[in-house]
Amino acid sequence: MKMENLIKATEFKINKNLKIPYYYQLYENLVKSIQSNELIEGQKLESELELCEKFGVSRITVRQALKELELNGYIIRERGKGTFIKKKIETHSLQKVSSIVDELRKEGIKTKNKIVQKEVILPDIKIKNILQLKDKEKILFVKRLVLAFGKPLYLTKAYLPFAISGNISNEILIENSFTRIVTQILKLRLIHSKRILEADIPDEEVIKLLEMESDEKKVINYLQTIWTVSQNDDLKIIYFEEYFNSAHGKFVFEKDY
């Protein structure tokens, strides 16, 4: 059975008036179809080209939507066979947009930010695609370590389009959370936020920066955060990677229902 028998193209169209990326609108629609059993476990999806024609979007948009589905465990790609719906997984939403630094400070815990690296660079292909940048568009890359009680709690790698960030001073980066920098100092409006939390095996640099002991388990919490922000109605993407050493503290993400 083809997917066109399960999802009618007329039932979903990209809303170009929404300030939400096209790929994410398509992703959310496909997730809805999976969760409502319109698309069932083991179902083979149509090809990228067929999905482009069905929903009236570019191939890049389809690829990004499929990548999100794969990252969140909804589909699996099998070489030479195609893309299939995976067995349903339980998901937990981390929707509260807040800064861990700000939350710690509210609890009276003193934190210290240390800038490990800051430079204006051309991004690699992975970051370029995530930020949806054009060729030769540069980014401000910041690697920052957050310490408390004299120990490193977590490491942040921030990727900001240089067109909206400029060369933020070290003083601002040390004294402020990224949430405050983006929303109050750069005065960007946050349109959409997504967080993906998973276990990861750190590389040697992360192990060294987080001061992981030889007897500690070499598995950390890895959090990816993607923000869609607006500046004069022009949408941009900001991306963060954060690495937490659970041996130095517990991190709780809350959501109000």
Could you tell me the domains of the chain?
A: 3-85 (1.10.10.10), 100-248 (3.40.1410.10)
Q: Is 157 helix (H, G, I), strand (E, B) or coil?
A: strand
In 166-242, alpha helices (H): 170-175, 178-180, 204-209
pLDDT in tens, 30-81: 888 887 888 888 889 999 999 999 888 999 999 988 888 887 778 888 888 8
What are the structure tokens assigned to 201, written together? 């095996």
Per the DSSP assignment, residues forming a β-bridge with 121 are: 139
Evaluate the CA torsion angle 243, 139, 180, 147 in order and state its sign: positive
pLDDT in tens, 144-193: 999 888 889 889 999 999 999 999 999 999 999 899 999 999 999 988 88
The pLDDT of residue 4: 41
Give the H/E segment covering residue 127: helix 125-130
The answer to whether the CB of 147 falls within 8 A of the CB of 112 is: yes
The pLDDT of residue 251: 53
What are the structure tokens assigned to 107, written together? 């609890």
Q: Which of 101, 97, 73 is CA-nearest to residue 87?
A: 73
CA 151 to CA 147: how far, in whole Å? 5
